[in-house]
Structure 1
Amino acid sequence: MSKTRKVVLAYSGGLDTSVILKWLQDTYQCEVVTFTADIGQGEELDHVRPKAQQFGVKEIFIDDLREEFARDFVFPMFRANAIYEGEYLLGTSIARPLIAKRLVEIAKITGADTISHGATGKGNDQVRFELGAYALWPEIKVIAPWREWDLNSREKLLAYAAEHNIPIAKKKGGGSPYSMDANSLHISYEGGGLEDPWWCPPDDIWRWTKNPEDAPNEPELITIEYVKGDPVAINGEKLSPHNILAKLNEIAGKHGIGRLDIVENRYVGMKSRGCYETPGGTVLLKAHRAIESLCLDREVAHMKDELMPRYASLIYNGYWWSPERKMLQTMIDASQERVNGEVRLKLYKGSVYNAGRRSPDSLFDATIATFEDDRGAYNQKDAEGFIRLNGLRLRTGAKRDQR
């Protein structure tokens, strides 16, 4: 413990990390640097600095990473159409490599030799933070208090805070009974009643999306423009990556789009039930697949779909900085060079529908696909030989079975 000189703590100012700050100072007798990331969680961060200063922290980093998060992490992931286990849009998972990256950067800037985080020993985030840090700085040391201390309940944390005069802000209305995590892509809910997979959460759990039953009775049409696989404009208005997400969250949330209730398989081995709201991301996934349907070659599209579960698992399990994820990203990004154009979508009562797509790089040829006279663009007699050749092995097998 005495060998730890200076620690960079991923610090939110909430109960867990407030206790961790004091615990690090007392247990390791080291200087603590705090780092707070604004990745679009929508919370005021004004309280963070004075709270850290109260405990003698001299180096306090509060970084606006919203654009970097959307541009360099969310958008590359959406180029891959990544979904974990068929449903989860990886909202929490994709934020962790950015936080790990910044923790390492700040450690180098401040001369720290250690980083620390508030992830528990049961969850995925400890893996994501630490694998990311080791990939970026192999010699970095990590302190994960939840794997060391005996403060393993909220009651013990509150008692520790009271004993050491650590102010804990009480949330309006008593706070949420759920463990929540938010960024500009999504908000998640775990714990509380959700630990019973049969329990149906009440409607007041949801923060970003209107109940689809109460959503507008008229559908809304929007158009998203794509350049090289990334959205660049909504309804003709050019927007930055973060503002694309923010605007789509607002529009889609109004129509009750993006709610999810799943039981997922954590990397550490257990199943976990969680609820998620990803309104803008749900729309972007639909839109991106729509524009790709026009612009991607069939075999390229199918290969992307075959590799997508592997890519999604890499992100979920914390391997964003791994060589295999980077290799897949290079291939995915190359596939997006001609993914340009516009997608029109209809949003209505919890669902999003394709309502048109067009592209200057479209591979759709109406003169070939038409059911009307194609004026010789496609010789239908060619299909006979195609079918007979592809059916050869089936016929051979069937003859063998008849013998």
Structure 2
Amino acid sequence: MFDQNYNYTCLERFLKYVKIDTQSNEDSTTFPSDPKQLELSKLLVEELKQIGMTEVEMDEYGYVMATLPSNTDKNVPTIGFIAHVDTSPAVTGTNVKPVIHKNYQGGDIVLPNDKTKIIKVDENPELKDMIGMDIITTDGTTLLGADDKAGVAEIMDAMHYLITHPEIQHGKIRICFTPDEEVGRGTEKFNVQKFGAKYAYTIDGSTRGEVEIETFSADAVVIKFNGKNVHPGYAKNKMINAIKIASYFIDLLPKDTLSPETTEKREGYVHPTSVNGNETQTVIKFIIRDFDANKLKEYENYLKELCEKAVSKYPGSTYDFEVIEQYRNMKYVLDNHPHVEQFAIEALNRLGINPIKSAIRGGTDGARLSYMGIPTPNLFAGGHNFHGFLEYVAVQDMQAAVQMIVTLAQIWEEKS
């Protein structure tokens, strides 16, 4: 039974963490992509030591790892809890001013420093379940950083709870706070052997009760259209403008299907994310997503067909086509370890939280870690509207995540 008199620390920690700018940089070639992430990582090292964690260290890449030693005689598999410190490049994370809307009583939430930024009830159905809760938003000028500083704060609080409640038996627990998840590099330098967990959970989901064991499978595609540049004053019947080839190609893409804006649920898509170039060469970058990994090849072949049509329209032009594998649906791994999900669902049931089994229309560090040898589902952290000005999280949902982590540690010990 969770101690009803426990003084949670997750809110205090979260408000501190979000004020530290940790925005990652998708154009950087360094690791971490922006060294300012290390400011929070260094703080976490000190806080982990303060609460009594052991083997606390930050490596050269900014990964923070620590251990909560086992306090049971049972042979319990080492489990891990993981969250990321960086925030999305999509919206600024500088000078975040969190606002707490205490005892929310319904209705739209207008953000105080930009009245045009409104969290609308009809666009956020989760708000109907938050009556009476304390909701944290931004002031409207930045993102909040609940993705994933809520997860970081919740893991910290759960470890604090277990340390201050030694009567709760648990096996060895490893925690890790990673950089650069938002730019798809969160596991790039992750040391699986040093982490040493057999199973893990990322605390990086959204709605209370979410248990996610399925992600998109994902590839990136880079298409380079090659034209021929000639001085425009003397270009008649000579110039082949790569920008126009790329434009023609983009216009061939389907208008009513196969795009993020026209798909939902289990539908996949092909999505152009950037166009750069000139008359000589224009580069289009795509991300390709589907829950069925076999469909990625179909989508890539489809794009090649459109490339062929485009260059045939402009004789003398050529194209280069590169596929970069990104990640695969973690369900293919987790299906072989069903107890990892089952224990999470049992933890939620014990707490009276309705488990929500959902598939992520995206990826997580857990997807890559699962294929690196650590089966890793994703569990809720409570945040909503990630990567934007309208991001929010309820304090009570963060506390529920703390309870979930603690209960999950208990269940692993009980079942061993």
**Structure 2 length as normaliser, TM-score?**
0.20
| Structure ID, larger Rg | 1
The structure whose RCO (Cα within 8 Å, separation 6+) is larger is 2
The structure that is strand-richer by fraction is: 2
**Structure 1 length as normaliser, TM-score?**
0.20
